[in-house]
Amino acid sequence: MEQGLTNIESATTTTLIPIYGSGGSVSSIRLTNYSASNAVTIDLYLEDAAAAKSYMLNDLVIPVGGSLLLDEHMSFDNSVLGLKIVTVGTSPLLSVIIK
């Protein structure tokens, strides 16, 4: 899959942008629940090398067919922080587009 495009199809923790990777210059993140029958609950956070978390979103429920666009102050220092997402729910189906 192309960098910046992620489909998540299970309840899991996914690293979207790793520490020391490329991609800390983020202008927007779109989260879309493409399930036909189940809501998805997400946590979206920045994490440092010591596993300290700073949450952008915590326990946010995205309903069936719903989307959320985050487009304000999204960039971060990728040399010390990574971007992760936790998905919870019954058979969650979530698309994440990072630009």
Distance between CA atoms of residues 15 and 25, nearest Å = 16
Q: What share of the chain is helix, strand, coil (3-state, %, to 5)?
A: 0, 50, 50
* Domains (range + CATH), the chain: 5-98 (2.60.120)
Q: Please report, in tens digits, the pLDDT of each residue of the chain (99 residues total).
A: 456 899 999 999 999 999 987 766 899 999 999 999 999 999 999 999 999 999 999 999 999 999 999 999 888 999 999 999 999 999 999 999 999
